[in-house]
Structure 1
Amino acid sequence: MLPDRCSIREGGRPCVNPPEFVMSILSKDGEYMIGVTCENHKNVFSDKMQVLQEEGKLPQGQINFTALKAVGTDCIKAHPDDLINIE
């Protein structure tokens, strides 16, 4: 289960945009999911993750952004009005 909004907060307010990417760090020990972001905040998150890696607060490794896709199955019905247009 993923959050329904981008993980960033600006000026104490959460971003209202839907997530478009899963952010993770690929390290020698494995892959660590950090959060989700919209296209507008992708660079902001990348810069912040690099700073946190330099401070030793996040594992060292390659910062990875994986695009999200809407999925519907027999047990998870996707109503067309609920889908978010993700390119």
Structure 2
Amino acid sequence: MEEGKQCVNPPEFIVSIVADEDEYMVGVTCNKHKEIVSGKIGILQNEGKMREGKILFSPVKAVGTDCIHGDSSDFVQIDMKSSKN
């Protein structure tokens, strides 16, 4: 949410926290809001409202299955650039 409105950008990253050799998914974000989400998670961690650990951003990957069929108009563009954060 930004200024009370939901972001119109498609999700580009899965946001997770790595702690004690476990990984916990906490959400998704677009590239534009990546730093804002990171900052908010850091605040929540400092307040003890979210698990401590390293914040990890993993690129969203397109997945296909035999049970879901569609044509090219059903797909959205997914940026496959990797992130080192």
User: For the superposition of Structure 1 and Structure 2, which TM-score range results when normalised by the shorter chain?
Assistant: 0.7 to 0.9
Residue matched to 2:35: 43
Residue matched to 2:23: 31
- Structure with larger RCO (C-alpha < 8 A, sep 6+): 2
Q: 1:56 aligns with which of 33, 48, 51?
A: 48
Identity of aligned residues (%): 51
- Structure 1 residue runs without a partner (length 5+): 1-8
Q: 2:71 aligns with which of 33, 58, 79?
A: 79
Higher strand share: 1
Q: 1:70·1:83 contact (CA, 8 Å) conserved in 2?
A: no
* 2-structure distance, mates of 1:28, 1:77: 39
* CA RMSD of superposed structures (Å): 1.3
- Structure 2 residue runs without a partner (length 5+): 80-85
* CA gap 1:78/1:22 in 2 versus in 1, 3 angstroms: farther
Offset of residue 79 of structure 1: 2.5
* 1-structure distance, mates of 2:70, 2:28: 21
Deviations 1:42-83 (A, max 9, x none): 111011111111111110100001111122221122432122
Residue matched to 2:7: 15
